[in-house]
Amino acid sequence: MHIVVVGHGMVGHKFVETLAASGDTDLRVTILGEEPRPAYDRVHLSEFFAGKSAQDLSLVAPGFFDRKDMRLRLGTCVTAIDPASRTVMLAQGEPLDYDKLVLATGSFPFVPPVPGADRKDCFVYRTIEDLEKMQECAVRGGGARSRTGVVIGGGLLGLECAKALRDLGLQTHVVEFAPRLMAVQVDEPGARVLRNKIEELGVQVHTQKNTLAIVDGEEATHRMQFADGSHLEADMIVFSAGIRPRDELAKSSGLALGQRGGIVIDNNCQTSDPHIYAVGECALWGGQLFGLVAPGYDMARTAAKHILKGEGGFTGADMSTKLKLMGVDVASIGDAHGTAAGSRSYQFLDERKQEYRKIVVSACGKYLTGAVLVGDASSYGTLLQMMLNKLELPQAPEFLILPQGDGAVRPVLGVDALPASAQICSCNDISKGALCAAVAGGASSVGALKKCTTAGTACGGCVPLMTQVMNAELTRLGVAVNDHLCEHFACSRQELYHIVRVEGIKSFGELIARHGKGLGCDICKPVAANILASAWNDFVLRPEHASLQDSNDYFLGNIQKDGSYSVVPRMPGGEVTADGLIAVGQVAKKYGLYTKITGGARVDLFGARVEQLPNIWEELIAAGFESGHAYGKSLRTVKSCVGSTWCRYGVGDSLAFAIALENRYKGLRAPHKIKFGVSGCTRECAEAQGKDVGLIATEKGWNLYVCGNGGMKPRHAELIASGIDDETVVKLVDRFLMFYVRTAGRLQRTSVWRENLEGGLDYLKQVVIDDKLGIGLELEAQMQHVVDTYACEWKEAVTNPEVRQRFRHFVNSEAKDDNVVFVPERGQIRPARADERHRVIPIATAA
């Protein structure tokens, strides 16, 4: 069967993914994409201006189209469909036969018929190419920037576009014809709160404005003339006044259309021609168009199942939505305006915090039918489930939205009340039953649940509810849902950290006496040592701490496979003087060490025996070097390019800033190793987007990325702030690192911590940037304590006779370890293999 798909956007690709996942080998699929690149994430399109590349936004997994049964043709326009011969005609004049045709043509932006709308520097907000044009307009030739930008349209896309203009550094305005923003989703009080919060962010909102014409401006490129006699000038105008279905192909081929456009489909997503399907924003079901991605995905799955002779159908979609618009939480559920006969509403407004919550209940008072949340949408998931599953309300429904005395909103739903069919992840159509089955199959963390079900991997809004379902199911299966550190401490690493901090505990003995039992083990001792070092920054080899350390920390070096150790002097930012390099070379030559430049821009010296370590470090310290902490759960390196100091492409002094950051955080002990990267431009030579903390210089300042890593499970770092200065970078990184140190689990990297963080990236931003928990200054002060109390561990070790005495292989002898054997290779040494060892160890036998 030959299936032709017209359109390779988000919904078109979901259809193709569904076919691929079926494993059907009797298919041949041709995908015709009009754009020059494969499907990408339009939902997060504005992040393009915050530093994400087109590749970052791509929805196509590497190698996806390497299969023989699928062919993707980009930059290909379809001009006609002939249903009688089952043929589509391409713009190049090429006919293409099909057995089944799927129209995933999407929509186009509506531009009001305003005189002057086609002027230069007037754009629409739809594709990456549109964004590139906007970006080019924002940065004029010669470096003079456009100063002002206007978005015509105050709906979802309009506010997303306003964020994009603000990210471009423009003074931003939103012009809306209606009396309020987001008139479809939000009521008058909610829109008022939304407007206040957006204007606090520096965006000016103009409602009830009817644009009559766009003409030459006096102080800017354009002047918008309004019906009320007022005007507004701007250098850039972007139309985001709604969308219209791309149904021209269907119309010309005689397929049934709706009165106001849209390709009419049935429950199988078939058009009036049974061999042609339509999915996404171009499709009209039950007289309704769906402009959200989740219904489009559902249509894509339905069409694929029907073509493959599977069961299931499209029966409409809930248009509830939860978004973060310019950093403001906004959610709309069901009948948000209470239009149903007899419905009643409960409302809560906090003008100081700028939060608004409303629920709409049925005429009988038993069921939730709608809700509006602005400023705090934390209860969205549970309210949505109450409506979708028609769960009975409590006797006093107002308590669902009224805060408790501590300001927190009361929990509104126990997940046990949800049926197995309850849809938890609407983007990927994952039910509670599917999540429970995955938990029964061994998924016991949010990260594992994401991996095996795909729930929470699209917009991420369902992760809090996923977590509740997972914990409830683990409890039901008899699995104790606790994160106890070990048998000696009935608490998590996070709880242990807070105990140490709050009670001022300074030793393991005191900690286990107060809050543990027994003598401790090889799990809790290193964790406690790490926490004590993070909290108080004491020397890790003080007598009361030394016995807690693992092997690497005990000897302040990484033990290698042959029992020797590596030596890593710190070279902040990868910078080292000629004298420094000579000194390192002399030490390596003197002690016969293997030398290597690593991927972290360090010089590693391998092959040191334990008794050699103090002498080696004494010489390195005399040459001006410090410990590189390669052995510790701490900051390893800050990788850097040469930036604007040397590079002709550099726009920021990445080298100097990398050195400053490495010198600031070099003493920090954390749950796991930490790596930084600082790139001087978007060419990204320091690979900052694969680090725990990454910085990329732009003309507007630094873009800050967090929670990336390489290794066995690489993870792309996520943008948390853009266009910030050096001082703000330090403040946010201080908060981020200390929040991670406080809350991460044992041996948990920032990437894994982030994957399991309830509330995800949005919550992390709220804590780090917005200071939602009110602990920002405290986190900064704790980091400053680490900075102020820093001391080189190896300097302390070599100058302290008691500590230095520890570095010997035998307690009662000065002899060296004969098990460490090297052989020459490429002018250096390497550990001998088993067959290369030429020594005999006598074995005593019984008399």
Q: Which of 679, 685, 639, 675 is nearest to 659 (CA)?
A: 639
Give CA–CA dist 452/444, Å, rounded: 11
- Binding site membership for [4Fe-4S] cluster: which residues? 641, 647, 681, 685
Query: Amino acid identity, residue 826?
Result: R
Cα 481 to the center of its chain, rounded Å: 26
| Torsion sign (Cα): 275, 276, 279, 283 | negative
Give CA–CA dist 808/811, Å, rounded: 7
- Binding site membership: which residues? 641, 647, 681, 685
Cα 149 to the center of its chain, rounded Å: 28
Give CA–CA dist 323/332, Å, rounded: 9
| 534, 497 contact by CB (below 8 A) | yes
DSSP string, 13-52: HHHHHHHHHHT-SS-EEEEE-SSSS--B-STTGGGGTTT-
Give CA–CA dist 53/688, Å, rounded: 14
Buried b (16+ CB within 10 A) or exposed e, 79-97: eebebeebebeeeeeeebe
Q: Which of 40, 32, 35, 37 is nearest to 11 (CA)?
A: 40
Collapse the DSSP code of 616 into the 3-class scheme (helix H, G, I; strand E, B; otherwise coil) and give the result.
helix
Q: Which of 521, 545, 416, 428 is nearest to 471 (CA)?
A: 416
Query: Amino acid identity, residue 454?
Result: T
Give CA–CA dist 430/769, Å, rounded: 32
Give CA–CA dist 614/619, Å, rounded: 9
Give CA–CA dist 282/268, Å, rounded: 15
| 797, 600 contact by CB (below 8 A) | no
CA dihedral 718, 720, 724, 728 (to 10 degrees): -120
- Binding site membership for siroheme: which residues? 685
Give CA–CA dist 250/279, Å, rounded: 12
Q: Which of 787, 794, 786, 740 is nearest to 537 (CA)?
A: 786
| 666, 629 contact by CB (below 8 A) | yes
Give CA–CA dist 783/668, Å, rounded: 8
| 223, 213 contact by CB (below 8 A) | no
- Name the E strands within 380-521: 423-425, 430-431
CA angle 170/175/176 to nearest 5° reads 150
